[in-house]
Structure 1
Amino acid sequence: MSPRGRRPGGVDTRAAILTAARADFAEQGYDATSVRGIARRAEVDPALVHHYFGGKAKLFAAVLDIPADPAALIGAVVQGPRDQVGESLVRTFLSVWDSDEGRQRFQALLRSAVTHDEATLMLREFLTREVFGRVVRELAASAGSGRVPTHQVELRAGLAASQMIGLAVMRYIVELPAVVAASHDELAVMLGPTLQGYLAPDD
């Protein structure tokens, strides 16, 4: 017997959590959405959200249909050489995007973000908080710079995101031949220093 008002685990439960999460993220934005709120909407125990998705960041990636764990990818970049963070980010993103599965999903995500306000809000907040914002905060902490003001985190993260989203649009949506043909190394070398300046400006 399950507790009254709670849905038991199973395939339908996972789908219910995704549906609830999609609605909460769209209505409230990434920051204001909580695992408990999603669980309440899905009528499940919060432990089931963690069981199926491992936390809010992974759940958000599942809602956006991202074929990778953003937290693990960003963690690996931040733990690598500090002076190569910019280039590492470019290579990391391209390694996901250029897979057959990644390309199809990312094209769909970009098109949705361009045409749907809800998708735009979710992608914007996720990139500035969980991806590039996390890089800024962790690099500042490792350098002993202390806490970076919120507006600085958002500005740096937003500028870094603009570079990578711009690259994605030109490579996967507009398909500019020179950008499509460029290798990961070429793009990392050319874009890396710009990202480095945004994310680790004191280096």
Structure 2
Amino acid sequence: MTAPTRRPGRRPGQSSSRADILAAARVLFGDRGYDKASIRAIAGEAGVDPALVHHFFGTKDELFAAAMEFPIDPATILPLILTGPREEIGERLVRTFLRIWQDPRLSPQFVGIIRSATTSKTGATLLREFISSRLLARVAEALDVPRMNLNAAASQMVGVVMFRYVLELEPLASASEEELVALFAPTIQRYLGA
């Protein structure tokens, strides 16, 4: 007996197709980066026809933007960084950053964003807009720190992430949180001028 062939379009019954496509896109964009993750591969991973991906999301760029929507709202993490003595802000920033990246629910999506930022203009734009508009602008306003200093702090933390979580370069990849805080917090503190 042959298996029934899958018909293009929507699945019968209650549909989770959109969520399945987003989940598959996050996995493939994270594993392969933007350029190597095709609509066909994402559809295959989600168990849907590629036409359904286009139906829900239009272009690959639009799918990427939806899939790589940042999994955290800066409004929830900024108080963790900004609340407390100013002379400890470098330490709080490094700790908060590391804890977010170590969260197994968030890490794959963040790794996908970083990988895609290195391989596609769309990925780079999404990361830049998030860091500049949604994060740095708010920190600059709260701390009254020059934007150049904030960019320097952000570049330091993105570099840590790239080497620790994407490239998994040792000994950085297996260093403890305490080791990384001791190493990077003083530099971040200097950038933030406190």
Q: Deviation string for 1:148-177 (max 9, x for gaps)?
A: 6xxx32x12211111011001101111112
Give the equivalent residue in structure 1 for 2:162.
169
Instruction: Return the match for 2:175 from 182, 189, 192.
Output: 182
Structure 2-normalised TM-score?
0.62
Structure 2 contact 116–124 (Cα < 8 Å) conserved: yes
Structure 1-normalised TM-score?
0.59
Residue ranges of structure 2 left out of the alignment (5+ in a row):
1-14, 23-64
Structure 1 position 92 matched with structure 2 position 96: yes
In the comparison of the two structures, how many residue pairs are matched?
A: 135
- 1:63–1:86 CA distance, 2 compared to 1 (3 A): farther
Structure 1 position 157 matched with structure 2 position 150: yes
Larger Rg: 2
CA distance in 1, matches of 2:91, 2:66: 26
Instruction: Return the match for 2:86 from 69, 82, 85.
Output: 82
Structure 1 contact 132–160 (Cα < 8 Å) conserved: no
CA distance in 2, matches of 1:69, 1:62: 15
Amino acid at match of 2:172: V
Identity %: 39
Structure 1 contact 77–85 (Cα < 8 Å) conserved: yes
Aligned residues: CA RMSD? 2.6
CA distance in 1, matches of 2:189, 2:99: 19
CA distance in 1, matches of 2:140, 2:66: 24
Give the Å deviation of 1:62.
7.0
| 3-state SS in 2 of match to 1:179 | coil
Structure 1 contact 128–157 (Cα < 8 Å) conserved: no
